Structure 1
Amino acid sequence: MLDEKKVKLMTRLAFYEQTQGKEDFKVSAYYRKDYASLHTICSIIWVTVGYICAVGLVFLAGMDNFLSSMSFGMMFLMLGILVLVYLFLLILYGVIASHIFNKKHRESRQRVKKYNHDLTRLLKLYEREKR
């Protein structure tokens, strides 16, 4: 005979496995610090690539104007400003990415713990049924 509690529990477990479970199991396989560090470093690398591309495009678009109207000192000033903006963006994106990925790992771990707790409950229901 079917037990309503077991059916509801199995349905909830199967639904979780098919939706969030796939991603949560991958995320929770890492330690929180490792997961956040890895993804923060990847974010910083992509910010660097994007910044280089954006600065390169702006420079190529206005190269004639830049080179004809700038003195040597002005070029150093522009280079300094570009470096400062880059460092600001790097720190900003690093802090934001670290916060986001720490939160994502924490939430995934909580959902996986609830999933494991439900699995334990299901196992206990099966053991009670055997007796």
Structure 2
Amino acid sequence: MVNEERLRHLIKMAQFDTNDGKQCKPMTQYARKDYVSMRLLGSFVTGTICYGLLMGMWGLYATEELLAKLNKFDIQGLVMTAVVPYLVFMVIYLGATWVIFNMKYTEGRRKVKKYYNNLKKVNQMYEREERLRTSDHKDWD
């Protein structure tokens, strides 16, 4: 006979494994601080590369302006044109990364907790059935 309650829990667990299992795996392996720090490091690298590409495209567009600043030896103005926007961009980008991955970690931990609760319930059902089965066998002996 099929235990419908156990089957419901097993189906929920299978759905988690197929839908969210791989995404939530880091939430079980890392603490929040470590998980978010890893994501921030990756975002720092990608943000810097992205900003460099944007500056390269802007440099191609504004070649005349750049050459005029270099001819005037306005290196400070040139650096301020590149560094200040970079810092603003990175603060916004890393701030968004921090918020997003904190939310993802919280949601992932919630899903993992539900998964483990289902696992615990299924395990308790199996243990209860095993106790009943062994007590039935003892009565027959």
Aligned residue number for residue 72 of structure 1: 73
Structure 2: unaligned runs, 5 residues or longer: 133-141
Aligned length: 130
RMSD over aligned CA atoms reads 1.7
Whole-Å separation in 1 of the counterparts to 2:91 and 2:62:
28
* 4+ aligned runs moved over 6 Å, structure 1: none
Aligned residue number for residue 34 of structure 1: 34
- Relative to the length of structure 1, the TM-score reads 0.89
Whole-Å separation in 2 of the counterparts to 1:92 and 1:122:
45
Aligned residue number for residue 135 of structure 2: none
What is the DSSP-based 3-state SS (H/G/I as helix, E as strand, rest coil) of the residue aligned with 2:51?
Answer: helix
Whole-Å separation in 2 of the counterparts to 1:35 and 1:28:
10
User: Any idea what the Cα deviations from partners look like across 1:11-68, whole Å, max 9, x if unmatched?
Assistant: 1111111111121123331111001001011101111111111111221343245314
Q: Which of these two proteins has the greater Rg computed from alpha carbons?
A: 2
Q: Does structure 1 conserve the Cα–Cα contact (< 8 Å) formed by 2:39 and 2:97? A: yes
Query: How far has the Cα of 1:3 moved from its partner?
Result: 1.0
Whole-Å separation in 1 of the counterparts to 2:55 and 2:126:
63
1:99 is aligned to 2:99: yes
Please list, as runs of the form range in 1=range in 2, the aligned pairs for 1:1-131 lying within 5 A after superposition.
Answer: 1-68=1-68, 71-73=72-74, 75-130=75-130, 131=132
- Relative to the length of structure 2, the TM-score reads 0.83
Whole-Å separation in 1 of the counterparts to 2:68 and 2:79:
16
Query: How far has the Cα of 1:123 moved from its partner?
Result: 0.7
Query: How far has the Cα of 1:116 moved from its partner?
Result: 0.5
